[in-house]
Amino acid sequence: MVNFREYKIGARFFGLALGGSMTITLFMPSFDLRNVNATEVALDKQLWAGHESGFSLADPFLTGEHRPVRVTLKTDPKTGQPMASTVAYVYPAGTPLPNGVDHPDNLGNIVEQLSRDKGRIGEASKSQGAVFLLSSEPQGDGSKQFYIENASATKGWNPEEVMKAAGDENTYHASYGKAIFVREGCWWCHTLLPEETQDWQVFGAPPMLGDFNGESPTAFGSDRKAPDILHVGSRNSSREWMMLHFFNPRLVQPHSIMPRFDYLWGPIDDKGQKIDFDKWRAEYNEYVDGKRVTPPEVPMYASNSDARALIDFVLSLK
């Protein structure tokens, strides 16, 4: 290192400058971010989205392996008796657990304490699977403090029973839907971050500080070529409209520049019939050219298709 002797002071200053900037921009904000308690929004989101929505070893090709589902229960999975509509998050055996269960310190002190003590999340196991609930504890000031409840421990619910009790029509594959949202690059145009300074009227309220704990990736997006969709499920909850819009956005919005996502239907429709895409496109072109009065019927998606999971996800964005 003889040739660097005259650069000793410079090298030290360089280390100081770069180290200083990393202290300010990484180390110091980490104190602020660590102290944030997860809000109801964050808990709900991390429970339905699951451990990771981008690449992970559990689902390397983002094709929906090892993903939780959100279900709405109307009967008790143990007794079969009717009960008040309850939302449960089902993690079948082998599904990576949500971040707040894996690393409860990500939840913030208050939520962590409640989830550990009352929610018994420490007993959840990936190998056996688990069912979680979003529970709350009334506070002195009349507000509610939300936490994660491990229903497998507190109620003895197991994933198979809960999924069976809910049935396919009350099951939402929102976790896989978010993976499709990442895989198909929806977030290159649709942001998930209404802006603090405007957007209130059109796209809804900007998120709060604790609304992201445990979410990965956050996929805010930076290049908004289309409406923000953080709250799209509250603006438009029509499955029919979503189906038409994904198959060919020009069916419901003639000036849209969104790509067609008809390939998410897969080869067959809900009745197991092969979908003839060429015929559909030819008929649609005739409609565009004015040779047909109505566009061709959009085939109903199969219940295990990507289209269904993506619509489940979009409708979960409340």
Partner 1 sequence: MFKYLFARSEDIPEGSAAVYFGFSAIVWFVIGTGLGAFNASKLAFPDFVTGLEFVSFGHMRQVHVHAVIFGWISMAFAMAMMYMTPALGNTKLWSEKLGIWNAFLWNVGLSLGLTLLWSGMTSGREYSDFPWFIDLYIATFMTIPLGINVWMTVIHRKTQGIYTTNWFFASAVFMVSIVFIVGNLPEWFHLTGLTEAYLTWWFAHNVLGLWITPVAAAIAYYTIPKVTGNPLYSHRIGHLHFWSVVVFYSTPAAHHLMSAPLPEWLKSFASVEGVLILVPAVAFVSNILLTMQGKWNMFVENLEIRFTVTGCLMAIPLNMQGGFQQTRAINWYIHGTGWIVAHAHLALLGFSTFLEAAAVYLGLQTLMKRKLYSLTLGNLHFWFLLIGFTTYWVSMTIAGLIQGAGKIYEVPYIDVVMAEHPYMIARWIGGSLVFTGNCFWLYNMWMTARAGTVIPEGRMAHELAYER
Site residues (CB under 8 A) for partner 1, limited to 26-45: 26, 28-30, 32-33, 36, 42
Place of tokens 């008929």: 283
Question: From the CB of 91, what's the least distance to partner 1, in Å?
Answer: 17
Range 189-248, binding partner 1 (CB under 8 A): 189, 191, 193, 195-199, 201-202, 206-209, 211-227
Residue 103: CB minimum distance to partner 1, A: 8
The answer to whether 54 contacts partner 1 (rule: CB under 8 A) is yes
Of residues 188 and 241, the one with the C-beta less far from partner 1: 188
Q: Give the nearer residue to partner 1 in terms of CB position, either 281 or 318.
A: 281
33-71 residues labelled b (16+ CB within 10 A) or e (exposed): eeebbbbbbbbbbbbbbbbbbeebeebeebebebbbbbb
**Which regions of the chain does DSSP assign to beta strands (E)?**
69-75, 82-91, 130-138, 144-150, 171-172
Which of 264, 228, 271, 270 minimizes the C-alpha distance to 246? 264
Residues 107-126 that bind partner 1 (CB under 8 A): none
Task: Provide the CB-side half-sphere exposure for 87 (13 A, CA).
Answer: 12
**3-state secondary structure (DSSP) of residue 138:** strand
Q: Is 6 in the site for partner 1 (CB under 8 A)?
A: yes
Closer CB to partner 1, residue 83 or residue 257? 257
Nearest-approach distance from CB 58 to partner 1, in angstroms = 12
CB of 117 to partner 1, least distance (A): 23
The three-state secondary structure class of 235 is: helix
Residue 94 makes contact with partner 1 by CB under 8 A: no
Name residue 9's amino acid: I
Which of 74, 116, 120, 260 is the binder for partner 1 (CB under 8 A)? 260
* Residues 164 to 183 in contact with partner 1, rule: CB under 8 A: 182-183
Residue from 44, 47, 52, 89 touching partner 1 (CB under 8 A): that is 52
Q: In the complex, what is the shortest distance from the CB of residue 90 to partner 1, in angstroms, rounded to a whole number?
A: 21
Query: What is the biggest distance separating any 2 CA atoms in the chain, rounded to whole angstroms?
Result: 83
Residue 178 in tokens: 């978010």
**In the bound complex, what is the minimum distance in angstroms from residue 257's beta carbon to partner 1?**
5
Check binding of 263 to partner 1 (CB under 8 A): yes
Per CB under 8 A, the list member of 12, 17, 94, 128 interacting with partner 1 is 17
* Complex with partner 1: residue 87 or 193, whichever CB lies closer: 193
How many residues sit in the footprint of partner 1 (CB under 8 A)?
85
The tokens for 155 are 């109620």
CA dihedral 49, 51, 55, 61 (to 10 degrees): -70
Is the CB of 35 or the CB of 237 nearer to partner 1?
Answer: 35
In the 8-state DSSP scheme, what is residue 206? Answer: P
Considering only residues 269 through 298, tell me which ones interact with partner 1, judged by CB under 8 A: 277, 281
The partner residues of 150 in beta bridges, in order of sequence, read 132
Identify which of 219, 232, 309, 226 has the alpha carbon closest to the alpha carbon of residue 264.
309
Q: Which stretch binds partner 1 (CB under 8 A): 50-58, 116-124, 126-134, 234-242?
A: 50-58
For residue 270, count CB atoms less than 10 angstroms from its CB and return exposed for 0-12, middle for 13-18, buried for 19 or more. Answer: middle
d(CA 307, CA 266): 8
Among 164, 257, 292, 304, binds partner 1 (CB under 8 A): 257
